[in-house]
Amino acid sequence: MDIQTAVRTVLSKYATFSGRAPRSEYWWWFLALLLFNLFLRVIDGAFVDPLEGTGAFYDQAGGPLGILAGLALLLPNLAVTVRRLRDIDRSGWWMLIALIPIIGYLILLYWLVQPSHVNANRFGEPPG
Protein backbone atom coordinates (compact mmCIF):
# COMPACT_ATOMS: atom_id res chain seq x y z
CA MET A 1 0.00 0.00 0.00
CA ASP A 2 1.26 3.47 -0.82
CA ILE A 3 0.40 6.86 0.67
CA GLN A 4 -2.23 7.73 -1.96
CA THR A 5 -4.05 4.43 -1.55
CA ALA A 6 -4.01 4.78 2.24
CA VAL A 7 -5.41 8.32 2.16
CA ARG A 8 -8.06 7.31 -0.38
CA THR A 9 -9.05 4.28 1.71
CA VAL A 10 -9.25 6.18 5.00
CA LEU A 11 -11.26 9.04 3.49
CA SER A 12 -13.61 6.62 1.71
CA LYS A 13 -14.27 4.99 5.10
CA TYR A 14 -14.71 8.43 6.70
CA ALA A 15 -16.62 7.29 9.79
CA THR A 16 -16.49 3.50 9.40
CA PHE A 17 -15.39 1.99 12.68
CA SER A 18 -16.05 -1.62 11.66
CA GLY A 19 -13.55 -3.84 9.93
CA ARG A 20 -9.79 -3.85 10.11
CA ALA A 21 -6.97 -1.60 8.89
CA PRO A 22 -3.51 -3.02 8.15
CA ARG A 23 -0.41 -1.48 9.66
CA SER A 24 0.65 0.10 6.37
CA GLU A 25 -2.68 1.88 5.94
CA TYR A 26 -2.49 3.40 9.42
CA TRP A 27 1.10 4.59 9.19
CA TRP A 28 0.79 5.96 5.64
CA TRP A 29 -2.28 7.88 6.85
CA PHE A 30 -0.29 9.12 9.84
CA LEU A 31 2.52 10.37 7.55
CA ALA A 32 0.02 12.06 5.22
CA LEU A 33 -1.57 13.86 8.19
CA LEU A 34 1.82 14.96 9.44
CA LEU A 35 2.80 16.40 6.05
CA PHE A 36 -0.61 18.03 5.58
CA ASN A 37 -0.43 19.68 9.01
CA LEU A 38 3.08 20.93 8.28
CA PHE A 39 1.85 22.41 5.01
CA LEU A 40 -1.08 24.10 6.77
CA ARG A 41 1.24 25.55 9.43
CA VAL A 42 3.32 27.15 6.70
CA ILE A 43 0.23 28.52 4.94
CA ASP A 44 -1.23 29.80 8.22
CA GLY A 45 2.04 31.46 9.12
CA ALA A 46 2.59 33.00 5.72
CA PHE A 47 -0.87 34.28 4.89
CA VAL A 48 -3.07 34.41 7.96
CA ASP A 49 -0.94 36.38 10.41
CA PRO A 50 1.95 37.99 8.48
CA LEU A 51 1.60 41.27 10.38
CA GLU A 52 2.50 39.69 13.71
CA GLY A 53 5.83 38.51 12.33
CA THR A 54 5.57 35.18 14.12
CA GLY A 55 6.35 33.00 11.12
CA ALA A 56 5.03 29.55 10.34
CA PHE A 57 6.18 27.84 13.52
CA TYR A 58 4.93 30.12 16.24
CA ASP A 59 4.24 28.07 19.35
CA GLN A 60 0.49 28.40 19.45
CA ALA A 61 -2.31 25.88 19.19
CA GLY A 62 -2.60 26.38 15.44
CA GLY A 63 -3.97 28.72 12.86
CA PRO A 64 -7.48 28.71 11.47
CA LEU A 65 -6.66 26.36 8.58
CA GLY A 66 -5.07 23.83 10.94
CA ILE A 67 -8.03 23.95 13.30
CA LEU A 68 -10.54 23.47 10.47
CA ALA A 69 -8.54 20.59 9.01
CA GLY A 70 -8.22 18.99 12.44
CA LEU A 71 -11.96 19.12 12.94
CA ALA A 72 -12.65 17.78 9.44
CA LEU A 73 -10.22 14.88 9.84
CA LEU A 74 -11.05 13.96 13.43
CA LEU A 75 -13.56 11.20 12.56
CA PRO A 76 -11.40 9.48 9.91
CA ASN A 77 -8.44 9.59 12.27
CA LEU A 78 -10.42 8.00 15.10
CA ALA A 79 -11.94 5.44 12.72
CA VAL A 80 -8.62 4.28 11.26
CA THR A 81 -7.14 3.99 14.76
CA VAL A 82 -10.06 1.84 15.91
CA ARG A 83 -9.78 -0.33 12.79
CA ARG A 84 -6.02 -0.66 13.37
CA LEU A 85 -6.58 -1.81 16.96
CA ARG A 86 -9.17 -4.30 15.72
CA ASP A 87 -6.58 -5.63 13.26
CA ILE A 88 -4.40 -6.72 16.18
CA ASP A 89 -7.44 -8.20 17.96
CA ARG A 90 -7.97 -5.38 20.45
CA SER A 91 -11.17 -3.46 21.01
CA GLY A 92 -11.29 0.11 19.75
CA TRP A 93 -12.00 1.22 23.30
CA TRP A 94 -8.32 0.58 24.07
CA MET A 95 -7.64 3.86 22.28
CA LEU A 96 -8.71 5.55 25.52
CA ILE A 97 -5.55 4.24 27.18
CA ALA A 98 -3.83 7.27 25.66
CA LEU A 99 -5.58 9.35 28.32
CA ILE A 100 -3.07 7.98 30.83
CA PRO A 101 -0.10 10.38 30.66
CA ILE A 102 3.07 9.08 28.99
CA ILE A 103 2.63 5.35 29.71
CA GLY A 104 -0.73 5.25 27.90
CA TYR A 105 0.78 6.75 24.75
CA LEU A 106 3.67 4.31 24.87
CA ILE A 107 1.37 1.31 25.22
CA LEU A 108 -0.85 2.53 22.37
CA LEU A 109 2.20 3.16 20.18
CA TYR A 110 3.45 -0.36 20.92
CA TRP A 111 0.11 -1.82 19.86
CA LEU A 112 -0.10 0.29 16.71
CA VAL A 113 3.28 -0.94 15.43
CA GLN A 114 2.43 -4.62 15.97
CA PRO A 115 2.00 -6.77 12.84
CA SER A 116 -1.49 -7.64 11.70
CA HIS A 117 -3.12 -10.94 12.53
CA VAL A 118 -2.85 -12.98 9.35
CA ASN A 119 -5.97 -15.01 10.05
CA ALA A 120 -9.50 -13.98 10.86
CA ASN A 121 -10.03 -12.67 14.36
CA ARG A 122 -13.16 -11.71 16.29
CA PHE A 123 -13.42 -8.53 14.21
CA GLY A 124 -13.44 -10.21 10.82
CA GLU A 125 -11.22 -11.28 7.98
CA PRO A 126 -7.86 -9.60 7.38
CA PRO A 127 -8.02 -6.67 4.96
CA GLY A 128 -7.29 -7.60 1.39
DSSP string of 14-35, one letter each residue: TT--SS---HHHHHHHHHHHHH
Q: Establish if 30 belongs to a structural domain.
A: yes
Q: What percent of the chain has pLDDT over 70?
A: 88
Q: Establish if 119 belongs to a structural domain.
A: no
Q: Establish if 16 belongs to a structural domain.
A: yes
Q: Establish if 121 belongs to a structural domain.
A: no
DSSP 47-81: IISTTTT--TT-SSS--HHHHHHHHHTHHHHHHHH
User: What residues make up the domain containing 31?
Assistant: 3-112
- What digits encode the pLDDT tens for the residues 30-75? 999 999 999 988 887 777 655 555 555 455 556 788 888 999 999 9
Confidence of residue 8 (pLDDT cuts 50, 70, 90): very high
Q: Establish if 122 belongs to a structural domain.
A: no
Q: Establish if 127 belongs to a structural domain.
A: no
Question: Structurally, how many domains does the chain consist of?
Answer: 1
Q: What CA–CA distance (Å, rounded) separates 5 from 59? A: 33
